[in-house]
A = this chain, B = another copy of it.
Amino acid sequence: LAIILFTKTRIQLKAEIITIGDEILIGQVVDTNSAWLATELNKLGVEVVQITSVSDNRNAIIEGIDRAIERAGLVITTGGLGPTSDDITKTTLAEYFDTQLILNQQVAGTISTMLALRGVVMNERNLKQAELPEACEILPNSAGTAQGMWFSKNGSHLVSLPGVPFEMKTIFSDELKPRILDRFHLPFIRHITLLTHGGAESEIAIQIREWEEDLPKTIRLAYLPSPGLLRLRLSGRTEGNVQELEQLMEKEKQKLETLLRDYVFGYNDDKLEEIVGRLLAEKGQTLSLAESCTGGYIASLIASVPGCSAYFNGGVIAYSNESKSRELDVSPYTLMINGSVSQPVAEQMAHGCRMRFQTDFALAVTGIAGPSGGTEEKPVGTTWIAVADKHMTYSKSFRFGDNRGRNIQKSAMAALFMLRKTIMNCQ
């Protein structure tokens, strides 16, 4: 094993992430590992300066590492550690760090035990997973057979992790994170994000320009637009007093919040479904859902939040007209006269759902998600959303675009924003 020496001087550790795999470069897989790793590294005070994706190719991997090591003290690679012939990261790293692969009996034993628990007999491919570079520190993988590896050379560090997200995360959290905290003495990076809804990016930019120009130099602002919402992120960094930085950021956050009072609906990684869930839980109130065009998507968002059974009673996916009448008591006459995508149908769905499920609130959506089903009067994207509470039923119509997936997402966002407002206003 290599002997690794670390000094406890406060350093500004820069990191780079290299994801290895042809599947990323041909676009077959969206690289979610980098975003996860970047988030975790930032939390530790490590600044990620570049993310690079290269193919399963020796030269590309070596060039990627060479360049990354010029810019960053810590390079983390993911991918290419599987048991199959297209996985060449391990042999390439052994070559790069001028060492050889040797069978690690202890790892072989662990892998064999792990496979036995799954009822699988160890085969030669699995055994190859226990052949590891001699000059590296092994970061054991409790979630799979590909081990993590820490290499050091001339003061630079490279850590290789598997590409399977769950295994990568397990090794990072259990093995890599404690080592980084122990071996480097890091500066502090803090982020606060305000989530806004209802204001255009350019309007908001003008509204906060003076505040933005007066921001202290240690704090940066970024605008992050996405469909239906705009996030404003404050990033601060210090190698000195972290409490001071946090206080300063909190002060600027409050100023910004005051300027954008009408738009701010949440913070940081808050999701709209979590915000709605918290509101319901705090008020001790319940929700049911009646979905047509969104087909269960809103329910799946609500149900993704741990503990939702405290306020979410369930709902009905009423795709056909018959199910709207049978399961939600929508009048067949109303359906016949107005069509299923109409204000009275949306309102009857919400009301009927609330009565059936005996909840404080019910949300209903009916629309034409597309790509077919549109008419001149009701083109694809036409959507009615209704919210019922104990006093009355509110409804609103929208015209989204012609993309099915986006229409479903936009309908869900609009519906949850309407629901949030109703819950907040409800006495």
Contacts and interface: CB of A to CB of B under 8 A. Distances in A.
A188 to B, nearest CB: 14
Nearest to A163: B225
A390 interface: no
B312 A319 contact: yes
Given A223-B84, A317-B316, A356-B326, A39 B26 contact: yes
Most buried by B among A38, A124, A166, A302: A38
Contacts of A120: 200, 203
Interface string A298-314: 11101110111100111
A35 B166 CA distance: 20
Q: How many of these chains are in the complex?
A: 2
A370 interface: yes
Contacts of A200: 120
Interface stretch (A50-58, A89-97, A153-161, A250-258): A50-58
Contact of A31 (B31, B50, B202): B31
A425 to B, nearest CB: 25
A307 to B, nearest CB: 7
B40 A27 contact: yes
A97 to B, nearest CB: 22
**How many residues of A sit at the interface, in one of the four size bands?**
35 or more
A34 interface: yes
A23 B39 CA distance: 10
A187 to B, nearest CB: 14
A22 B296 contact: no
A83 B306 contact: no
A191 to B, nearest CB: 7
A319 B357 CA distance: 11
Contacts of A235: 22, 26
A184 interface: no
Contact of A205 (B125, B221, B309): B125
Contacts of A212: 85
A83 B202 contact: yes
Interface stretch (A101-109, A171-179, A275-283, A404-412): A404-412
A417 interface: no
Contacts of A1: none
Given A30-B32, A313-B323, A317-B314, A51 B52 contact: yes
Contacts of A319: 303, 308-309, 312-314
Given A53-B50, A221-B86, A317-B289, A126 B27 contact: no
A82 interface: yes
Nearest to A125: B202
A245 B67 CA distance: 36
Nearest to A208: B84
Given A86-B220, A201-B82, A319-B303, A38 B51 contact: no
Contacts of A392: none
A294 B23 CA distance: 29
22 contacts: A23-B222, A24-B38, A25-B48, A26-B38, A28-B193, A49-B54, A82-B225, A83-B202, A84-B201, A84-B202, A84-B223, A86-B223, A125-B205, A125-B206, A166-B227, A294-B300, A296-B298, A297-B300, A306-B371, A312-B319, A314-B319, A327-B356
Interface of A: 22-32, 34-42, 48-56, 60, 64, 67, 82-87, 120, 123-126, 164, 166, 191, 193, 200-203, 205-206, 212, 220-227, 231, 233, 235, 289, 291, 293-300, 302-304, 306-309, 312-320, 322-323, 326-327, 356-357, 369-373, 404-406, 408
Given A49-B60, A50-B52, A87-B223, 4 more contacts: A22-B222, A26-B235, A289-B317, A313-B319
Closest 5 CB pairs of A and B: A295-B303, A296-B299, A27-B39, A27-B38, A296-B296
